[in-house]
Structure 1
Amino acid sequence: MHRNNQNMKQGDKLLKMPGKLDRGPIEFKSRIVESEGGVMAIATREVISVPPTMSIISAIETMTEYGFRRLPITDAGTKRLRGIVTARDSIDFLGGGDHFNLVRVKHNGNLLAAINESVREIMTQQVTTIPHTASIADVTEIIVTKKIGGLPIVDEEEVLTGIVTERDVMKALATEETDIMVEEIMSTGLRVTGPETPIGTVTREMIAHGFRRLPLVMDDVLYGIVSASDIMKYLGTGEVFKRLSTGDVAEIMALPVRSLTSGELITTVPDANINDAALKMLQRKVGALPVIEDGRLIGLVTEFDLVKAFSGK
């Protein structure tokens, strides 16, 4: 018990450190738009969506299986967009924010019972969308100004016709050569946490501060990086159930966050060109790169940072 308290105190301190079961139907929606705008040239048209009646666990399993950070929720009959569930919603549900009341209050902390509630209980209903006639510039403007990582594309009847993400826009814009260096656009003054910090503490920090990821630092050395998707996959792969003996969510949220990280750490350096950084992200399918100098973490560059830089916003 004393050791666990020490870990939590360490995590709280490090977070303030500045740093240099029923799956249900899955719908595959493919639609050719008669009058296309520029966005459809970079968007995903074969959109996987699920109905609001699908269970939370099945929705998270779907996202994990396909490597999604967001999943549109549509009516089974009309295919009209009703909401979206994201990796952030999943960590909110696991203990990060208001969605956790579904577990803590309604099901008295029993995760096994709560995960079979319908996904409508945790989905975001007020979704920012764009029309299929939008330009890439329109999408970029919304992503940069509203800090939204992905936008469902709908037609005049609110039927889902595609989805476009930060990664899609970054890929399109990164074809333009630039002499901008990573150090010019990276985020600094980072919040970090330690590898022994409980998962529950990390989820609360992510939701409270709007983070998608947190670097793990121990003795001034970067140990890894944990993202909202990593935590979601913990549930979606079924790994959480191997560690769950009582059904109480507190049991698994007390485990150290290091148990969620892989051994591979993909980084960049401050004098790297942002075109090279974008290419590395695309090749390795990661949303951020820790920036390392002299063996120390000095910053973080994300897909959002790159979209903003390439667009000149």
Structure 2
Amino acid sequence: MNKSSIKNAVIPKKEKHVRDGYTRNMGPLDFKSRISEHTGDIMTISSNEVVTIPPTMSIIGAVKTMLEHGFRRLPVADAGTNRLEGIVTSKDIVDFLGGGKKHLMVKNRYKGNFLAAVNANVSEIMEENVVSLNVKDSIKNAMDTMIKQNVGGIPVTDDENKVKAIVSEKDFVFLLAGIMTGKTVNEYMSKNIITAPPDMPIGTAARSMINNGIRRLPVVKGDVLVGIITASDIMRFLGSGDIFEKLVTGNTAEIFKVPISTLIKREVVFTVPETDLGETASIMLDKNVGSLPVFENSQLKGIITERDIVRAMAE
């Protein structure tokens, strides 16, 4: 891992950014009791304004729906009954557009005809063995399921398998924000992180994400962290008007050679190893990010993600 400094960094203010405007100074025991208060009621933290798509929607239709609503995952449900049939994520889209095995469908099934491929049903790339929760499940069960199944979001269904809500890692971050847990970033951050140079082609970055099972890449130039790109950033780029037109007309090689530096749109927000996870959650919510690079003495030491926070809460 490169020992990197920071360019255009945003240093979080010392005051705590929390959803209700104050910091809850609760110790580890109080934190655990807060989780248990919600036992048996996953719906208290889930989003019931869930957007579903039918399995017959085109792949490009799914991309447009994700971009329109700012989601990185969509439950796929029967149009008539709303029964859950699968799920599609931004990583599935990146995989299909050129990142991994799903892209073979373009070559093999559609003979390289990208336009025909993106108009195929989303059911062709969705995950059919979808992990789901029941509306009667507990928050603790949801956390354990996320960790065990290694997923970032789970549809919530009723006893008839009809989609009623969706719970994501961000919902748990929201639950933790402002609580002083006694647990620090250093205990849960990933220390062996995969980075990428600014001139790495988008196609190479997409394959790196898919092959390594990650959805974000810190971008490092020399010893300077210049930004972070995500699978959603790549999907947004490939699904944009002019770029998408080039894809469907066969200019894929040109598109996938574009450097990832073109995707960096925001300043770097970071944290330090001794930061409490409750404060870290507040920063993530306040800055609308799913991860924070961790710096110590101007050197990149790791990265803390929403999933790391869920893992800490599940212990």
TM-score (norm 1): 0.84
- Aligned: 1:51 with 2:54: yes
Within a 5 Å distance, the mapping from 1:101-112 to structure 2 comes to 101-112=104-115
- Aligned: 1:307 with 2:310: yes
How many correspondences in the alignment? 281
Q: How much does 1:248 deviate?
A: 3.2
Q: Which residue is equivalent to 2:276?
A: 273
- Aligned: 1:40 with 2:31: no
Over 3 Å counting, the alpha-carbon distance change for 1:230 and 1:213 in structure 2 is same
Same amino acid, percent of matched pairs? 45
Contact 1:79 1:160 in 2 (8 A): yes
Q: Which amino acid aligns with 1:157?
A: E
Contact 1:54 1:118 in 2 (8 A): yes
- Aligned: 1:237 with 2:246: no
CA distance in 2, matches of 1:152, 1:167: 14
- Aligned: 1:98 with 2:101: yes
The unaligned stretches of length 5 or more in structure 2 are 5-38
Q: How much does 1:242 deviate?
A: 6.2
CA distance in 2, matches of 1:19, 1:240: 34
Q: Which residue is equivalent to 2:228?
A: 225
The unaligned stretches of length 5 or more in structure 1 are 1-16, 21-35
Contact 2:271 2:280 in 1 (8 A): yes
Q: Which amino acid aligns with 1:86?
A: T
Within a 5 Å distance, the mapping from 1:87-236 to structure 2 comes to 87-174=90-177, 176-236=179-239
Over 3 Å counting, the alpha-carbon distance change for 1:229 and 1:118 in structure 2 is same
Q: Which has the higher contact order (CA 8 A, sep 6+)?
A: 2
Secondary structure of the equivalent of 1:48?
Answer: coil
Q: How much does 1:269 deviate?
A: 1.8
Over 3 Å counting, the alpha-carbon distance change for 1:111 and 1:261 in structure 2 is farther
Over 3 Å counting, the alpha-carbon distance change for 1:176 and 1:84 in structure 2 is same
Q: How much does 1:286 deviate?
A: 1.1
- Aligned: 1:62 with 2:37: no
Q: Which residue is equivalent to 1:258?
A: 261
Contact 2:152 2:169 in 1 (8 A): yes
- Aligned: 1:75 with 2:74: no
Deviations 1:225-272 (A, max 9, x none): 111111111133335236659423222111111111114222112222
Contact 2:40 2:138 in 1 (8 A): yes
Contact 1:109 1:249 in 2 (8 A): no
Contact 1:240 1:252 in 2 (8 A): yes
Contact 2:114 2:248 in 1 (8 A): no
CA distance in 1, matches of 2:215, 2:264: 15
